[in-house]
């Protein structure tokens, strides 16, 4: 019998942040097949590569006890993206909050809502001493999200030793020790 970790569900005003399911693949294929959406996350992926990415997200929960969540709308359950704690081997010495959203759901404040919930989860539940995201300096949409949430630029880094990014640290939510 395989021990499957219990993935806690988070809720925001408009979304449920939940564990991954096999039937999430088609929505992820839409996300990872969009060149504009994937411009800052390593480029597009075909269906097979997207399947492996879904497995990476699900497996991260198994191996680390946390990972990116599937973002689904409360109103209809539609998968719209991913967001959550992420710390693959070799990326950087600090874990981050990673995120991505299907193009049809951009510019609605949904990502800020999801990131806010994941930052609180990382501070409150995972007890991370610091919570950050790595952002490409030209990624205006993500820079808008981190700025909206009060994150501060805290230097630069190279993910996997080669991908230049900015480090953005989120403030501790009010009331979280």
Element (H, E) at 158: strand 152-159
- C-alpha triplet 149, 170, 86: angle, nearest 5°: 110
Segment 98-138, tens digit of pLDDT: 999 999 999 999 999 999 999 999 999 999 999 999 999 99
Q: Considering only CA atoms, which of 10, 141, 173, 157 is closest in space to residue 85? A: 10
pLDDT for residue 148 is more than 60: yes
Note the pTM of the prediction, 2 decimals: 0.94
Write phi, then psi, for 88 (nearest 5 degrees). Answer: -70, 150
* High-pLDDT (> 90) share of the chain, %: 93
Q: What integer best gives the mean pLDDT of the chain?
A: 95
* High-pLDDT (> 70) share of the chain, %: 96
Q: Cα(66)–Cα(98) distance, rounded to whole angstroms?
A: 12
């Amino acid at each position: 019998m395989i021990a499957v970790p219990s993935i806690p569900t988070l809720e925001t005003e408009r979304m449920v942040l939940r564990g991954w399911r096999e039937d999430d693949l088609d929505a992820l294929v839409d996300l990872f097949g969009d060149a504009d959406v994937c411009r800052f996350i390593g480029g597009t992926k075909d269906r097979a590569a997207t399947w492996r990415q879904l497995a990476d997200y699900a497996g991260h929960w198994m191996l680390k006890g946390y990972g990116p969540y599937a973002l689904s709308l409360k109103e209809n359950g539609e998968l719209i993206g991913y967001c959550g704690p992420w710390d693959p081997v070799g990326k950087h010495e600090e874990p981050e909050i990673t995120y991505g959203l299907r193009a049809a759901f951009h510019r609605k404040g949904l990502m800020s809502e999801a990131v806010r919930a994941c930052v609180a989860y990382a501070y409150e539940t995972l007890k991370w001493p610091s919570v950050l995201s790595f952002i490409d300096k030209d990624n205006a949409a993500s820079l808008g999200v981190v700025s909206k949430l009060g994150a501060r630029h805290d230097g630069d880094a190279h993910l996997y030793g080669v991908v230049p990014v900015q480090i953005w640290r989120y403030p501790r939510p009010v009331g979280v020790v």
